[in-house]
């Protein structure tokens, strides 16, 4: 890990909106609250009606978001400056939105050193980290590495990939995309300040 403490500017309004979106798409878990003074009649506790009146129950449905989410951020040299500050803020905002769920959140940045693809953690527990962007864009290998490091447990797995351009080092991106498909991992790539939309669509499809 080549990292240092990060100081993101968290958008609390956006974090609340993201939390609501996650709750909307999450699975549901049913909880029963028993021994209440009002609600539906609990046949198993009717004997308490004459004692203390606590013979009712309520059924609650709460979101159960047992997901694996990985943020994969392009930390190549072209991401220096305002783009990388935006990345730090995105990681901080999504980290805040997911903090109250049981989801497993991972965050990595990838960059290149002497022709080798490197990845580094951006989150460790409640601590957010950062790195100085450098090198070329080795997207294919980083997708494979991020998918390989994701835990197998959980109902759904997502990789949210942020980059400002095409991959220009190492294996082709389609190897990483195919590996994510074999692992049943949903991959979303977000373009950051790259004007050649056709090139991004050609490389990442939808």
In the predicted model, is pLDDT for residue 125 greater than 90?
A: no
Task: Give pLDDT, residue 1.
Answer: 59
CA–CA separation, 201 vs 184, rounded Å? 21
CB atoms within 10 A of CB 14: 15
Angle (CA) 99-11-190 rounded to 5° is: 85
Residue range 117-128: average pLDDT?
A: 88
Task: Give pLDDT, residue 196.
Answer: 77
Task: Give pLDDT, residue 187.
Answer: 92
pLDDT digits 0-9 by tens, 41-96: 887 777 777 778 788 888 887 777 778 889 999 999 888 888 899 889 989 998 88
In the predicted model, is pLDDT for residue 2 greater than 70?
A: no
Q: Among candidates 163, 162, 153, 206, which has minimal Cα distance to 184?
A: 153
8-state DSSP, 26: S
Task: Give pLDDT, residue 73.
Answer: 93
Q: In the structure, what pLDDT confidence band is assigned to residue 102 with cuts at 50, 70 and 90?
A: low
pTM across the whole model: 0.78
Of 11-15, 89-93, 129-133, 193-197, minimum mean pLDDT range: 193-197
Cβ neighbourhood burial of 46 (10 Å; 0-12, 13-18, 19+):
exposed
Task: Give pLDDT, residue 119.
Answer: 92
pLDDT digits 0-9 by tens, 134-185: 888 899 999 999 999 998 877 789 999 988 877 778 888 899 999 999 999 9
pLDDT digits 0-9 by tens, 31-43: 777 777 877 888 7
Task: Give pLDDT, residue 183.
Answer: 92
CB of 31 within 8 A of CB of 63? no
Cβ neighbourhood burial of 27 (10 Å; 0-12, 13-18, 19+):
exposed
């Amino acid at each position: 890990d080549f990292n240092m403490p990060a100081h993101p500017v968290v958008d609390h309004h956006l974090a609340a909106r993201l939390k609501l979106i996650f709750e909307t798409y999450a699975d549901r878990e049913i909880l029963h609250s028993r021994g209440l003074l009002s609600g539906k009649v609990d046949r198993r506790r009717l004997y308490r009606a004459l004692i203390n009146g606590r013979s009712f129950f309520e059924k609650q449905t709460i979101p159960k978001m047992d997901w694996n989410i990985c943020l994969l951020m392009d930390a190549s040299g072209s991401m220096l400056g305002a783009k990388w500050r935006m990345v730090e803020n995105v990681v901080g905002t999504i980290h805040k939105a997911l903090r109250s769920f049981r989801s497993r959140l991972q965050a990595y940045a990838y960059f290149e050193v002497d022709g080798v693809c490197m990845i580094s953690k951006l989150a460790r527990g409640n601590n957010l980290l950062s790195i100085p962007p450098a090198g070329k864009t080795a997207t294919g290998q980083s997708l494979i590495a991020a998918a390989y490091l994701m835990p197998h447990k959980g109902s759904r797995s997502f990789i949210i990939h942020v980059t400002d351009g095409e991959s220009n080092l190492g294996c082709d991106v389609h190897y990483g995309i195919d590996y994510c498909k074999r692992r049943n991992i949903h991959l979303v790539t977000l373009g950051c300040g790259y004007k050649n939309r056709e090139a991004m669509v050609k490389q990442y499809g939808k």
